[in-house]
Amino acid sequence: MRAINRKILRDLVGMRGQALAIALVVASGAATYIMSVSTLDALESTLAAYYREYRFADGFAPLKRAPRSVAARLREIPGIQMLETRVLAAANLTIDNFDEPVSAQIVSIPESGPLLNAIYLRSGRMPDPSRDNEVLVSDSFASAHQFRAGTHFYATINGRRRRLEITGIAFSPEFIYQVQPGALIPDFKTFGILWMPEDALAAAYDMEGAFNDVTFSIERSANIKEIIDRMDEILARYGGLGAYGREDQLSNKYLSSEFDQLRQMAVIFPAIFYGVAAFLLNIVITRVIATQREQMGVLKAFGYATTDLVLHYLALVAMIIAAGIAGGIALGAWLGQALGSLYMEYYRFPFLLFHLRPDMIFVAALISGVAAGLGTLHAVYRAASLPPAVAMQPPVPPRYRRSFLESLPLARSVSQPTRMIVRNLERRPLKSVLSILGVAAACAILVVGTLFSDSVDYIVRIQFQFAQHDDLNVIFNEPASAKAISSLKAMPGVRYAEPFRSVPVRLRFEQRSYRTSIQGLPHGAVLRRVLDSELKPAPVQEHGLLLTDYLAGILHVRPGDTLTVETLEGERRVLRLPLVAVAKEFVGVGAYMELEALNCAMGEAPSISGAYMETDSEHDKEIYAELREMPRVAGAGVRANALRNFYETMAKQALTFAFFNTLLAASIAFGVVYNSARIGFSERSRELASLRVLGFTRFEVAYILLGELAVLTVAAIPIGFFMGRGLGAFMISNVQTDLFRVPVIVDPSTYAFAAIVVLASALISGAGILRKIYKLDLVEVLKVRE
């Protein structure tokens, strides 16, 4: 091996600490990128393949009830490719050893199996169409209750209780994200999807010869808007609730907003990481190479050309970077797969297509390579273009002056070492600023890493502390008379009940429209409240609507404007209602009105869609049992479950992601701090040894170097907080959807955590440096100049 190459290897070994820290930074950047991109890619390609192979419908049209003959007319709508009718039913389930209310949506299976939204049978067999007690259950529900083919349970459909037997476990592209109507997030224990042969379900649900839902696919050239309008016209007489395209289908909508968010993260997180990593690499490599200045002078003196040296140091850096990239890619792929399977728990895909595509690896390597390469080139050219005679001289003694701080009166009493710290910081302000920025950036990504879970936590806290006080909510399968509330109140353990009315509507303003429902709440409601922008209760009004701020934004309406409200129920009246105020909500898009006024506007006798209740937890079991037997009750939600479920699933997911990010951010933080300290040491070891020779104690010498590190670290932390919050706000501003609006909330514990990681990095680095100071060989340092 050529001596010059041997030098690379030996130098590498000599600076292994720093090399490792640099490789760590590169690896973290690459891993973040690979993790995000590969997870996103896996989810997206899985979704696309799943939708294609299992023929996810292009459109859906729910309605009250229509005879099957109507289907023929629907099929004639130009642009329709395939159209199926089906029966959807709500059921309450009774499961052995599980007391809480469990509800299910039952989907009918046509005799020859669904053409659209095909079923992926994971295990077991399809139900026998000639039998009326066989069902498939969704995979998530099955695994939450450890159901298997052959397990049975009881379902109350349309007030009649029947025993159902599971023949198989299934997935469907329609229910990748399964959330109970009205719930925030999926709860696989209390909500499931069942599939039942069409005849059996129709018989059980009084839908013989009829249907209450349509799925369809369209021709490539067709215009879905026109088809939806035609379908709404035809179905209006049959209680059509408004057809919608797949972009408004609940599961798909959640997925696409999640994926949007992931896509943002896949770009923004790695961009930040890589930005920081590149910045650090540049600083670190510049400084590492600066310490090799004299050696470069020697090599040049003996006839090595500048380009030889550049190649030499590029090779050195390339080895460090290559190790970092390789480690980062392996780690990223592993994390990506881990994250992918975590998402699988949440989104029910039957399979996951995970690939580490060559282009991802290429991009990861390219970004690290370019970042490091530029840093090296810059550093080497600067050092190597010095005339060799100059390069070999010890750097000109830096020009110190009395620092600004020393001119302050208090400064006279300050010790000499302290003065040296201050002078050194002031002497190279740019370097000090860059070091501070580096550490601050590391601190910032730590803040950003946990920012999301803080914000989501905050949403939940607001939701359950201010807006939602009920212990239990009950939804009827169709509007009931206002008297229904008294039968709920009469149940043992129910302390208080508040009715609500929910009317599906299409809101229009100017050319914009949005499909949602209006919630009617009674005056002075306490269990469910609408909040204003200061999180104070905003009273519902008789003469107009309250809209979620986000919905008001979508429709471009302001208080005082009048909206057109097409109700999609009962007489299907078209109303003109003013917007009276805007409400603050982080989840969903709602419209609110006073309950009686809403009923009145609908032209209906007082009726309610459900109730919020305050209950005695001792009587929970009895209440749940009684609710199961009530034919009208389509579902019930338990607050405690929602919270528990939230922390179990959502938080787990957010926390895992945050944990990975935090780990990576922490390693970057450590890399920066350690390198700053280590380089400071090599740059100044002669000076420090000289001081030792002059009689300074080890402690005093250590104080000079570590004091500087401490000042830089402490200065960097608040700046990092500030940067982190700013970055977080930027990221969050990009992921606002009609499902969620995430506020920028940073919990003090997040700041504390970021600060602790940075300080711990500084302490560990400081300890390493201290060891070096203790081992500093005075004679050697003064004798040999290198």
Partner 1 sequence: MAEPRRVFSATGITKVYHMGDVEVHALRGVDLELYAAEFTVLLGPSGSGKSTLLNILGGLDRVTSGEVTYEGRDLSRASERDLTNYRRHYVGFVFQFYNLIPSLTARENVSVVTEIALDPMRPEDALELVGLGDRMDHFPSQLSGGQQQRVAIARAIAKRPAVLLCDEPTGALDSETGIVVLEALMRVNRQMGTTTAIITHNADIASIADRVIYLSDGHIVRTEQNRDKKEPRDLHW
Which residues contact partner 1 (rule: CB under 8 A)? 2-4, 6-7, 10-11, 14, 294-295, 297-306, 387-390, 392, 396, 780, 783-786
For residue 95, the cross-strand partners are 98
For residue 328, the minimal CB distance to partner 1 (Å) is: 27
β 494-509/512-521 pair status: antiparallel
Q: Please, which residue, 249 or 295, has the CB nearer to partner 1?
A: 295
Pick the closer one to partner 1 by CB: 100 or 687: 687
* Look-up of token digits 């950047």: 29
CA–CA distance, 673 with 23 (Å, rounded to integer): 14
Q: Hey, is 547 helix, strand or coil? A: strand
Q: How far is the CB of 772 from partner 1 (least distance, A)?
A: 16
Task: Specify the residue, 291 or 734, whose C-beta has the smaller distance to partner 1.
Answer: 291
Residue position matching structure tokens 């299910």: 104
Q: Shortest Cβ distance from residue 318 to partner 1 (Å)? A: 18
**Cβ–Cβ < 8 Å for 49, 186:** no
The residue behind tokens 């006839």 is: 303
Token duo for residue 693 = 């020779």
Give the nearer residue to partner 1 in terms of CB position, either 8 or 773.
8
Nearer to partner 1 among residue 170 and residue 317 (C-beta) = 317
Query: Which residues of 710-779 form beta strands (DSSP E)?
Result: none
| Cβ distance to partner 1 smaller for residue 301 or 625 | 301
d(CA 340, CA 539): 44
Q: Which residue has the tokens 């060799």?
A: 388
**Shortest distance, position 422 Cβ to partner 1, whole Å:** 23
Closest CA to 109 of 170, 160, 47: 170
Calculate ∠ Cα 438-439-440, nearest 5°. Answer: 90
Q: What's the rounded Cα separation, in Å, for the pair 518 and 536?
A: 20
Is residue 783 exposed (0-12), middle (13-18) or buried (19+ Cβ within 10 Å)? exposed
Q: Are strands 191-197 and 98-109 parallel, antiparallel or unpaired?
A: parallel
Q: How near is the Cβ of 393 to partner 1 at its closest, in Å?
A: 9
Between the alpha carbon of residue 605 and those of residues 14, 488, 504, 596, 631, the distances in Å are 86, 19, 17, 9, 21
Task: Using the minimum distance from each CB to partner 1, give the nearer residue, 295 or 765.
Answer: 295
Question: What is the DSSP annotation of 352-380?
Answer: ------HHHHHHHHHHHHHHHHHHHHHHH
Nearer to partner 1, 72 or 396 (CB): 396
- Per DSSP bridges, beta strands 494-509 and 562-567 are antiparallel
The whole-angstrom separation of Cα 110 and Cα 88 is 12
DSSP summary character for residue 650: I
Q: Residue 562: in which H helix or E strand, if any? A: strand 562-567
Nearer to partner 1, 392 or 763 (CB): 392
Residue with tokens 């480690």: 327
> Shortest distance, CB of residue 398 to partner 1, whole angstroms?
13
**Residue with smaller CB distance to partner 1, 4 or 271:** 4
Residue 596 · residue 485 · CB < 8 Å = no
Nearest in space to 379 (alpha carbons), one of 429, 309, 443: 309
Q: How far is the CB of 10 from partner 1 (least distance, A)?
A: 4
In this structure, the strands spanning 191-197 and 59-67 are unpaired
Cβ of residue 783: shortest distance to partner 1, in angstroms?
Answer: 7
By beta-carbon proximity to partner 1, the closer residue of 14 and 113 is 14
Cβ–Cβ < 8 Å for 452, 685: no
User: Shortest distance, CB of residue 400 to partner 1, whole angstroms?
Assistant: 15
Distance CA 64, CA 236 (A): 10
For residue 430, the minimal CB distance to partner 1 (Å) is 18
State the Cα–Cα distance between residues 26 and 92, nearest whole angstrom: 54
Element (H, E) at 467: none
Shortest Cβ distance from residue 384 to partner 1 (Å)? 11
| Least spacing, CB of residue 426 vs partner 1, in Å | 18
CA pair distance 234, 236, nearest whole angstrom:
6
Q: Which of 218, 249, 216 is nearest to 235 (CA)?
A: 216
Q: In angstroms, what is the minimal distance from the CB of 760 to partner 1?
A: 32
Torsion from C-alpha of 138, 143, 147, 149, nearest 10 degrees: 60
In terms of CB distance, is 81 or 385 closer to partner 1? 385
Residue placing its CB nearer to partner 1 in the complex, 562 or 690: 690
Nearer to partner 1, 4 or 663 (CB): 4
**Smallest distance from partner 1 to CB 423, Å:** 19
Least separation in angstroms between residue 397's CB and partner 1 is 11
Closest approach, Cβ 776 to partner 1, in A, equals 14
CB 295 within 8 A of CB 785: no
Nearer to partner 1, 290 or 729 (CB): 290
> Which neighbouring-strand residues pair with 29?
none
* Largest Cα span, the chain: 103
Choose between 2 and 225: whose C-beta lies nearer to partner 1. 2
In whole angstroms, what is the distance from residue 69 CA to residue 61 CA?
Answer: 16
Least distance (Å) between residue 305 CB and partner 1: 5
Q: What is the dihedral of CA 6, 8, 11, 15, to 10 degrees?
A: -140
Residue among 4 and 597 whose Cβ is closer to partner 1: 4
E strand segments, 188-336: 191-197, 210-218, 244-245
